[in-house]
Every structure is written in structure tokens, then in C-alpha cells.
Structure 1
Amino acid sequence: MALWRCDLRVSWRSQLISLGCYGGIMLLILLAPWPAGYWPIWMTLLLLVLFECIRSQRRITARTGEIILLEDNRLLWRGHEWQIKQPVWMISSGVLLSLRREKRKGGLAQAMRSSRQRLWLASDCMSQEEWRRLRQILLNGAPRSPAEPG
């Protein structure tokens, strides 16, 4: 039985925070007082940060689609069943779920994929009603993390 179901959208807040952080790092690299012969080093650093920024944006964009929370801390996401490992870390703007995929037979391709994921569900990637319902279920049904006030 599904306790909660949602069609996740792209989190614009997460994208803006990511762009701001990477943009700040790139600005620091560009404005740092580099000696004259160090241009290959700062250019390499700049390119690495740029590629990591693009990778981050793609990962944020990929976190869309249907997600279903089931009983016993199980989750259906991306065609796989995941077990929510505790503790669930929750703040007012999102929740971080540590997931572990159940082992299934599926050959080499299945074995090569990571069986662990950290999924950040931002409050702006779903409706307010869905967000309130998810928080209610996690606060009432899941053990609280040590960082959460009592």
C-alpha cells in the first residue's frame, strides 16, 4: 500500500543554490592573484569546476518522475525498490533520504550500478500538500535524526 505518492519536478531552488556555489568558486579562481606562469593551473581548475557544475545541474534535473513511499520504509523510485536507511535528515526546505537498493538478479549491468543513493527531496519539487504529507509521515513513522529537535 502506498503511504505517499508524488510526481517530482525539477527543484529550481536547488539549481540556483548549486549555480551560485559553483559560480562563486569560479569567481574566486578568476580573481585570485595567480603568478604569471600559473595560467595552466587556474585554467585547469576553472574547467574542472565548470564540468562539475554541469554534472551537478544534470543530476538535479534527473531527480524527476514518480516516487512512491511504501510501508516498512520502502520506496519505489526509478523502477527499483529502495530501503530507506536511517536516520532521515529533515529541514524546513527539504529532506535527505539515504537509500539502499534491494539486491536483485540482473546480470553485470545491474551489479555495476550503485546500490546506495542519497536522495534530496526539496520542498519546491512538489506541491505544498505533498510536502506536508511527506513530512508528517516521516516525522511520525521514521525515527528522528540526532540533529532534529525533540
Structure 2
Amino acid sequence: MTLYMLVTVWLLSLEWLEGVVWGQAPLLILMLLECGRNERRLRQRTGRLGLDEQGDWHWRGTRWQLARQADWLPFGVLLTLQNQQGKRWRLWLMMDNLPPYAWRSLRACLFSA
């Protein structure tokens, strides 16, 4: 939310030409709507994620399986999980949100599978 507020303050501080001042309000409304949408999506994707011995993921009391191979970047991994009903979630796990030992364990588990 901080980034959206900074951009909003920056847009308000700009000097707009007289011919395009009418575009300032719709632009700010779109920014606020996008901010709310992103906040809602982040709240939906929180919770403890665990991996059991069979390679199944547990999140929000449901068993999930990898729908496709994990996509790795140096700073994060994208997991595409699917439950038994066929619902899919794409979750980014970021390196800076995990302790170093947990990040190493995650990499070891996913690369050995």
C-alpha cells in the first residue's frame, strides 16, 4: 500500500496542464481501486504453508499438489498448486520472507523431487 500512496502523492504534486487536469481524478480513482484489489489478493494468499513426506502441500487446512514444476528466480519461487477439487492457486514464496535455513530446505526439497 505504501507504493500506491507514494505514487498518489506524487501524482497530486505534479503540475498538470490545463487541458489534462480533468484526467487527474479518474487516474487517482483507478489507482485507489487497484490498491484495494491488490490488498484483497494479498490477504487471500496468507497463511502457513507446509510440505509433508509424500510431497503434498498443506495450506489453509487443504491438501495441495504441484500442478506444474516450480518456477525459480534468484529471489523467489512461483508455486502453482492444485487441490483435489481442481482449484488452482499461484503462490510466490520470496527468499526474504523465509529464514535462510528454511529457504535452503525448500530449494533442496523442490530440486530433489
Match for 1:52 among 34, 38, 43? 34
1:99 correspondence with 2:86: no
Distance 1:35-1:139 versus aligned 2 partners, 3 A rule: farther
Unaligned runs of 5+ residues in structure 1 are 1-14, 104-113, 142-150
After TM superposition, give the deviation of residue 118 of structure 1 in Å: 0.7
Instruction: List aligned pairs for 1:12-91, cutoff 5 A.
Output: 19-20=2-3, 22=4, 26=8, 27=10, 31=14, 33=16, 35-36=18-19, 39=22, 41-71=23-53, 73-91=55-73
Q: Deviations over 1:46-71 (max 9, x none)?
A: 12212322332343355433211135
Structure with larger RCO (C-alpha < 8 A, sep 6+):
1
Equivalent position of 1:124 in the other structure:
96
Unaligned runs of 5+ residues in structure 2 are none
Distance 1:67-1:37 versus aligned 2 partners, 3 A rule: closer
After TM superposition, give the deviation of residue 95 of structure 1 in Å: 0.8
After TM superposition, give the deviation of residue 73 of structure 1 in Å: 4.6
Distance 1:52-1:37 versus aligned 2 partners, 3 A rule: closer
SS at structure 2 position matched to 1:100? strand
Q: Using structure 2 for the length normalisation, give the TM-score.
A: 0.73
Contact 1:29 1:45 in 2 (8 A): no
Distance 1:91-1:33 versus aligned 2 partners, 3 A rule: same
Q: Deviations over 1:90-130 (max 9, x none)?
A: 11221111122211xxxxxxxxxx91211011122221111
Compute the RMSD of aligned alpha carbons: 3.0
Equivalent position of 1:6 in the other structure:
none
Distance 1:33-1:115 versus aligned 2 partners, 3 A rule: same
Distance 1:30-1:129 versus aligned 2 partners, 3 A rule: same
Q: Using structure 1 for the length normalisation, give the TM-score.
A: 0.58
Equivalent position of 1:3 in the other structure:
none
For the residues of structure 1 that align with 2:29 and 2:70, how far apart are their CA atoms?
35
